[in-house]
Structure 1
């Protein structure tokens, strides 16, 4: 019988392994030997980190009222690309200097997971109360937690990542990024969230027509 395993389940196994490594490191034990106490700790990690996909996978849509004037959002709110010219838009809370958009859906509790397909991107989360107008500093200290990929290679881990999973645990103050195709944890931010958190998306600039493909909010992947 074929076993269907969501990438979110795979994330749980990765995090269990990381937890095991941390436990072993703190106790100065060899990896080949586990005491009863260590085994109990590992069991707790596995129980805590086991994620029910139906509880975490969410339907995300882009909010056109937050989009930079050059961004064009599809009718269903699932795709966005950067045009060559600014559109005429009302004076809504859009970001007028950073080429990005926020999601309609915001979170002030719980665990949430979504996936995005794109070869150039800025992805992450932002506090609802962040400054959106004029020159802004996009950093965790200013309410933005995100990673970037440029020209398929220019980001800290230098790995091609065209499909990205984002996992938010509000209570634990964690936002993690995954290379879905390679099944690799890319990076985790640790923070203390006090505001409503909104998913953050940028397809990057148009590059004179060389970067026209849309950023797509994808159905969550499964592997057989």
Structure 2
């Protein structure tokens, strides 16, 4: 399927049945992510760049993993309730280790006291919004004036998806990007978006 294309019109109305990503690192400081969007359990495409009438059909890499494997709510662990600095945490832990009781446990059982400031005191759950992408139909393709940027697929529930191939390591920007509405997208991207269905 490499380099084979289909018209965007053939993509509109199709259902996203999976998105698989292969993650990597280049030169030790750039994260990479190749995203493969499966439609109707039949074909895989990549999101095109800028204004175009064509979408490239792709074969998912064997190492690409589904992003829909776990759609449960995402836990956020709150630690360090007192708001101590790293230096303060290290000092408090050092004192605990020097405690006669902990020194005795270290000698007898090789026990290391945990850093209690890093133990969660509260867990908060956030909705995993990937569940609003799987099994949704693509209804439009949007792009910005800059043809070097990836375009966006708009879904039938108002969500908008795109992806980014490369970003500095640790930023979390390489991979699928999603917005829960056109307004959310416009808050992040100030350029004038154009729609395929209005061309």
User: Which TM class, normalised by the smaller chain length?
Assistant: under 0.3
Q: Which TM-score applies when normalising by structure 1? A: 0.22
Q: Which has the larger radius of gyration?
A: 2
- Higher strand proportion (structure 1 or 2): 2
